[in-house]
Structure 1
Amino acid sequence: MNLDELVNKYHTDLNPNDLYIWEYLSKHRMKCSEMTIEELSKQCNVSKTSIIRFAKKLSLSGFSELKTYLKMQPSSQSNLNNSNLDMLCNGYIQSIQELKERNMESVFEIIYHAKRVFLYGSGAVQLNAAKELYRMFFNGGDYFYYFDGKTDIDDILYNFNQGDVMIMISLNGESDLTIEFARKMKLKDIPIISITKSKHNTLASLSDENVYFSTTNLKLPGEHGRKFESTTAFFILCEIFYIRYQEYKAEKEKSQTK
């Protein structure tokens, strides 16, 4: 896990002071990775003990390991020495490698034992990703239901039952409607699997399981220097997720016939 994923995992254990430290760290990752604990505590206006306590809440051994994680974390800023095309292709490679190596057994376990699985896309691209998952899983013999952010969530919630599972697909995990929906599902004890960008976000912190992907941010050439964020990772994730689930299901069914 990277730091963003650890913060999502242990979010309920973090107090406002911890979140303030995290806000500073997330905005100045490389700078903080070179600081001493005295320098960081001064910048955050907290005690050294508070920083160590924050690190331990994330299951880290202390400040040294926190710095190691900061150095490992890729910078979100564009590397101007690389071409946009190189960065885009490298981003695809990074996403594929992360999704290939990530342990998803607990996610697949929830899906495998679910009575019904629902797919929710918070926007147009996210809904297309949900439809793609629906199509692939249908071909594999699993029937999912999908809907988008325009659907009346109260009607959907009314029809949820124990044994149902929700997969929520969101880019940033911060849409007001998506967060409201997730909170209402938590009240009904419906398990949530979130699919979001690899960063701390509210949806991930509300979910029972998280699947993360990386996006590539580019600044395009030209007078206006328009920004571009690739969302192809959504669809790379869908294919890898589907293939890995089919492998998991085959192993599960094989073990049950022994």
Structure 2
Amino acid sequence: MKLEELVNNNYNKLNENDLYILKYILNNKKKCCDLGINEIAKKCNVSRTTILRFVQKLGFKGYSEFRVYLKWQEEEENNYNESDYMEKLYSDLNENIKFIKEKDFEEICKLIYNAERVFVYGTGTAQLTVAQELKRTFLAAHKYFHIIEGYTEFEIITPSITEKDIVIVISLSGNTTSLYNCINELLIRGVEIISITKFSNNKLSSMTKHNLYVTTSTINLPNGITSETFSFFFVLNEVLFRHYITYQQKQEKLID
């Protein structure tokens, strides 16, 4: 499991000091691999005990275990040549396959199956395309998804969404600040939300209980333009759908 997912899963345990330490580590991963607990405490202007408590909140027994984990992750990320575009694609593909195989989709499938209505919101043009494909795919299972076309529509429709419904939010970064008001209002009213984001430490995933991730790297082209693929979002759609129809068939057998 990547550091970013560990943070998302344990975000509610972290205090202001923890978030400051986390920010330093994320911005200085390579350097932190070689820092002892006393050195990193000094860099972050906190005590040794504060660092120890921080890594324990993430599930590590101690700082030494955390540092080994950090070194392993850094080495894994540097296994391919930065300029080798195909290697980056294969690396992303392998990471997505690994996540898909390890992820338990049953709870998310249960939410979709039992929901009276499923609303899907994409934060941008590409994300909306992913949402529309999700709707098209699930029609084959006779499950209709309501697409929220824009943020203004999201604001208007939020008060009418009930705890019998669920909302799926698709965001690349997961840090679209305009979302937070609607998300908070839905959570307060007990509405379940499923986030689909890039595999990173992000606000949306930390706010929601049910998270799906896609690994995608940015490549720097010789002309100075950066490119990032959305292809794996569509792969995740297909995986979610296949898990859903398997869950649906099991429920129908129980009814029979």
Same fold (TM over 0.5): yes
What amino acid sits opposite 1:173 in the alignment?
A: G
Structure 1 residue matching 2:41: 3-state secondary structure: helix
The 1:164–1:40 alpha-carbon spacing in structure 2 relative to 1, beyond 3 Å, is: same
User: 1:184 and 2:198 equivalent?
Assistant: no
Aligned to 2:207: 206
- Percent of residue pairs identical: 36
> Does the aligned pair in 2 maintain the 1:100–1:240 contact within 8 Å?
no
Question: What is the correspondence of 1:72-87 to structure 2 with a 5 Å cutoff?
Answer: 72-73=72-73, 79-80=80-81, 82-87=83-88
What is the Cα deviation at residue 64 of structure 1?
2.5
Provide structure 1 residue ranges, at least 5 long, that are not aligned to the other structure: none
Q: Distance in 2 between matches of 1:161 and 1:170?
A: 22
Superposed CA RMSD: 2.1
What is the Cα deviation at residue 78 of structure 1?
9.7
Q: Distance in 1 between matches of 2:222 and 2:207?
A: 38
What amino acid sits opposite 1:92 in the alignment?
A: L
Which deviates the most, 110-119 or 14-23? Answer: 110-119
Which deviates the most, 41-50 or 243-252? Answer: 243-252
Aligned to 2:132: 131
Question: What is the correspondence of 1:130-169 to structure 2 with a 5 Å cutoff?
Answer: 130-169=131-170
What is the Cα deviation at residue 113 of structure 1?
2.1
What is the Cα deviation at residue 39 of structure 1?
1.9
Structure 1 residue matching 2:107: 3-state secondary structure: helix
- The one-character-per-residue Cα deviations of 1:72-92 (angstroms, maximum 9, x if unpaired) are 435768954551122123312
> Does the aligned pair in 2 maintain the 1:149–1:178 contact within 8 Å?
no
User: 1:230 and 2:223 equivalent?
Assistant: no
Provide structure 2 residue ranges, at least 5 long, that are not aligned to the other structure: none
Q: Distance in 2 between matches of 1:189 and 1:6?
A: 24
- The one-character-per-residue Cα deviations of 1:209-241 (angstroms, maximum 9, x if unpaired) are 11111111111124xx32222221211111111
The 1:143–1:179 alpha-carbon spacing in structure 2 relative to 1, beyond 3 Å, is: same
> Does the aligned pair in 2 maintain the 1:91–1:216 contact within 8 Å?
yes
Say how many residue pairs are matched. Answer: 255
Report the TM-score when normalising by structure 2.
Answer: 0.90
Report the TM-score when normalising by structure 1.
Answer: 0.90
> Does the aligned pair in 1 maintain the 2:80–2:87 contact within 8 Å?
no
